[in-house]
Structure 1
């Protein structure tokens, strides 16, 4: 039985994760009988918010505690000082925040939103969910139990008695049909599906780029392949500041696409590469996106839309359980999708980084029952990747930019190496290859040139600092910069070595290098910070700003501890001093 209650679901997402979670919640509430649209916050006419009774907000945090791009207009309106404090007196709401606890301003956008909604008279239906990507279960570590309680409270708002969600019910977003009269030459479908035919929705100032250089800059004998990739623009002039990022959406490899179609063929699924897909709306509150309202082959979707390297969520196994007709596989899928089966799901999927294609091969009897509709719910979508720009906008006269890209390849208990989707795709981009991207403001906010800077950027964490230093040299204002760089070997992975050494020779930068494997005892950037504690203490007390960029695993905490315990150890409260630096923007971190 359908309720008479409208539930509006609004999302703000920088990487599309919030959108996927919002759509997942929409499916669940559809089963409960609620109705209402799922929209990006900036796509919703915010003046109508005063008439809404129930709204769920799902938002990620980007930059230095900032709201994502498709939430900015919405948020700016909410901050108007002339809004009465009882504007949202009729609203019951809940907020789901998607954050990463490795950042100081964890889930800041969600916290700000919750506070402002309350100030305007809204009543929280449930406490805010502060999901953490660093959790073993990812965002689901908080979200799964939160949603169970949220749905219970949501039912109390219903005008009818509704069933519990005792098992997953398949609710397709759209009706997807196959036209078997497609063309055979899939090479004709090489156009970017997101930007073709003028489809640029949700992209701010998209750029058409061409690869000018793609060079490995680590020694061939070194285990890590790091690329310096130079892009030039086709028609547009580039405009960016040091610390800004370039966003690119990668594509699946030919090998993974072949593997997918081999799975289809093995299980006699009538889904061919050249078939054309047609999308129709099933629900008025879930419209088909504009970029899907054009002729697209299954090959194009397999290459550009479905993420074939993603590891399956528990929801994937719930879907497989729905379609499976094999008793053993179905029972296993039910177990892996249940709250009680989270540990087994971790051991089977997340920890070994088992991909969706590998799961489809393992559960081959269930795979044979898949339909095209289910596939669009089963596969997550390829998310854009964000890279700190590693060059200045000034010397190239706004026509070029560089990225430093570490190619991701590692091993787990699975024999086949795990390969990062985006970095391995970028590794094989030939000179002359064209693609689209867009620039976002970065996390770092740099001060005026007269302020001393302490920059800690091991590995590809060097990228935003290379951009800053190049920019200041080009403008003739370089100086009073202290750069800490770290890598394994001076002769193998000292990124941009000649350039950095020239900066130091020319007096633009003071450089401190930590080569961790060039001696028996490992030396990291935090050890170099401790070694130069007196110099750094004087810089900090004279007003220096600290910037930390790089891998989020251990380095940021070790660096921070070194400043507290070694550099500022003679202060009455070194920890409080650093905390104040963070709060005032004098200590900023960007990690991944």
Structure 2
């Protein structure tokens, strides 16, 4: 029995579904990320609430951590969950896992389907990229022209680009602090290689149709389409494959040793986990690399398209303000490119694709599918409120928009509070992005810069070192002057370190106990006076 629950009502009501809930046998597995404060809070509460309402728990609550290996967490939990279910319901388990495909393949012969009925990269509606109609959202992105695409780094072996997207014809609106979602296209070389490794005709038109006719999800992605389109627009081919994919690949191996290797990595044994860690994770092997290094594995391409996850849009903090740039959205992004232990060069899907799409004289401007995702990362309503911003590297992006907005307000005669920025990078003369802009803002009195160049001296200096020296200032702004505090960047390390420094400032300079400091910062968060735009 499936019960669909309105969570807000469910959390607040004493009585729900009456006797139905008391007949319910349930189990909860939550998906979360430990780098965030409220790790798996909904799953934990749901499990507890179901028990309070009289439901019978079949097996203990399971929690998956996406900061580690969420699939490994699930498999470990599932291996104990299934025997418990069998015992509870008197089911005889064979102990063998039967592999059943969720979708069946339909191959369309040439001429069976008119070309204008074949999806060519649209997210949901056929021809939505050819015939654009607002409103624009996740299922109906706007094809924005790239009007500017320039390098921000002045030296070194890394690259960071500044991209400007023209949204003038979209009727989309954004605010400083919002995100822009970009739908990428996979590297054509990887797409071609997958076609070679599977022996498939990439231009063949096919459909994958759900074997469960009652399912609302008829296809894993828009169908009918070509294999080339599916691999380019719809499936994630650069991510590290999860263990369930390796388990399915076993069936396509002709070599027994290859079968054993893949099967071992798909198990929950310590040996299997260790092999998965070394062969997949440490070596950064994607599906192409796996098929290259296990040559006896020849999967059907349609099954790979079913198994691989859907290619998702990538989100970027908008680095502009609509007050100054109402018709363009700016992106600031580091190009992801690194050499793996196997000698291959891996590239970020979206940043590599964006970097290649530069405007050229005499040619049509390149276009990219985008939409705006609203954020809670907002400037104070009162411009006179002081703010502290901590954003090393591309964490500067939303604060560039904030500074533009505050400078615009000041230029229009408004009283603007103090804006304090902590920014860090490796070298002043290499990766100090937007240096001229920031220094001009400082000269005009729009910002106070606190800069950390980690590798310009013998001892590394980070923004956290600067913050530790400025605890009096931190407390004065958030404790005495009703200011706002913002962090943007790495969630796993930087954001945690910064939060701990702020907690220490509240204790040492604000005279609070440790528990009082924690409550103080939680109150700031609830009032949107302590905000984080972070990623792991």
Change beyond 3 A, Cα 1:278–1:377: closer
- Report the TM-score when normalising by structure 2: 0.85
Of 487, 512, 515, which aligns to 2:453? 515
Of 536, 539, 545, which aligns to 2:484? 545
Q: Distance in 2 between matches of 1:452 and 1:180?
A: 65
Corresponding residue pairs, total? 509
**1:155 partnered with 2:86:** yes
Matches within 5 A, 1:168-247: 169-181=98-110, 191-197=120-126, 203=138, 206-219=141-154, 221-233=155-167, 235-247=169-181
> Counterpart in 2 of 1:455?
389
> Counterpart in 1 of 2:406?
472
- Report the TM-score when normalising by structure 1: 0.78
Matches within 5 A, 1:366-381: 366-367=297-298, 370-381=299-310
Q: 1:182–1:275: 8 Å Cα contact kept in structure 2? A: no
Q: 1:85–1:121: 8 Å Cα contact kept in structure 2? A: no
Q: Deviations over 1:350-400 (max 9, x none)?
A: 122111101011121122xx2244223442321221111111122233x21
Q: CA deviation at 1:196?
A: 4.3
Q: CA deviation at 1:139?
A: 0.7
Q: CA deviation at 1:252?
A: 0.8
Matches within 5 A, 1:44-83: 49=4, 74-76=6-8, 78=10
> Counterpart in 2 of 1:54?
none
Q: More displaced, 338-347 or 149-158?
A: 149-158
**1:142 partnered with 2:73:** yes
Q: 2:136–2:172: 8 Å Cα contact kept in structure 1? A: no
> Counterpart in 1 of 2:329?
401
> Counterpart in 1 of 2:356?
428
Q: CA deviation at 1:459?
A: 0.5
Local SS of the residue matching 2:76: helix
Q: Distance in 2 between matches of 1:75 and 1:173?
A: 29
Matches within 5 A, 1:530-541: 530-541=468-479
Of 220, 229, 233, which aligns to 1:304? 233
Structure 1 unaligned residues grouped into runs of 5+? 1-5, 9-47, 51-73
Q: Distance in 2 between matches of 1:578 and 1:163?
A: 53
Local SS of the residue matching 2:79: helix
> Counterpart in 2 of 1:37?
none
Of 247, 261, 265, which aligns to 1:332? 261
Of 423, 438, 441, which aligns to 1:500? 438
Structure 2 unaligned residues grouped into runs of 5+? 129-134, 360-364
Local SS of the residue matching 1:366: coil
> Counterpart in 2 of 1:22?
none
> Counterpart in 2 of 1:263?
197
> Counterpart in 2 of 1:57?
none
Local SS of the residue matching 1:88: helix
Q: CA deviation at 1:576?
A: 3.3
Local SS of the residue matching 1:256: helix
Q: CA deviation at 1:462?
A: 0.9
Q: CA deviation at 1:198?
A: 6.2
RMSD of equivalent CA atoms: 3.1
Of 419, 422, 442, which aligns to 2:347? 419
Q: Distance in 2 between matches of 1:120 and 1:470?
A: 52
